[in-house]
Amino acid sequence: MKTTSLLVLAFATTTSAFGSFGKPKATTPKLPMPTFDDATQRYVKSSDDDGVMPYDAIGSALRHGPVPFITRLTNADEYEQGVLKYMGTAKVSRAEAVGNMDAKLNNPLDWSYQKMEEKNGKPKIDYTVLDPKQAALTSVWALAITPLVINVVSSTVSQFNNEPGPCVSKAFEGLGICSSYIPH
């Protein structure tokens, strides 16, 4: 009798350790999916979707570079339509859709390759994560290197516009391009 009750007790604790059968499983909250309006040919956000982006345009620049940043500033409506379309087709949250949209705008070929790899079982990349190293590199490019390059290009163009210099090629003589620079 003692052995039987001990076995029943052991079985009961083992079963409860794995969860009990018959309990309803916890459901994941339903994502606010956009719908496509055939009349306007546009995606419409769900009434449950607050429309708040997980990060602003500066966050896009720090995570994925200048292309998504410029797109969010200059073409916000098309950007929002892209986010809504991705939300609806991939059945993902707004945050995931924004990250994927930014990654796709930054480098469409790498993004497409990664999506293909994910379908083949590779782990999913979270494009919303801000990598501190990437943010630092983007800041250096934005605040130091880009202005330096613009200054060098501007100075060079200005110099050639103001002081064109002699024509260095005899090939242009017959074209009359630099006849004033070639000594006769």
Tens-place pLDDT, residues 39-91: 999 999 888 888 889 999 999 988 988 899 999 999 999 999 999 999 999 99
| Domain annotation covers residue 117 | yes
Give the DSSP H/E element, type plus range, for residue 115. helix 108-119
Q: How confident is residue 173, by pLDDT bands cut at 50, 70 and 90?
A: low
The token pair that represents 58 in the structure block: 């500066």
Domain residues for the domain of 87 are 67-121
Domain count, the chain: 1
pLDDT given at position 157: 80
Q: Which residue has the higher pLDDT, 4 or 92?
A: 92
How far apart, in Å, do the first and last CA atoms of the chain sit? Answer: 123
Q: Is residue 132 part of a domain?
A: no
Domain membership of residue 141 (yes or no) is no
Answer for the pair 111, 103: CB distance below 8 angstroms, yes or no. yes
Tell me whether residue 127 is exposed, middle or buried, using C-beta atoms within 10 angstroms of its C-beta: 0 to 12, 13 to 18, 19 or more. Answer: buried
In a domain, 95, yes or no: yes
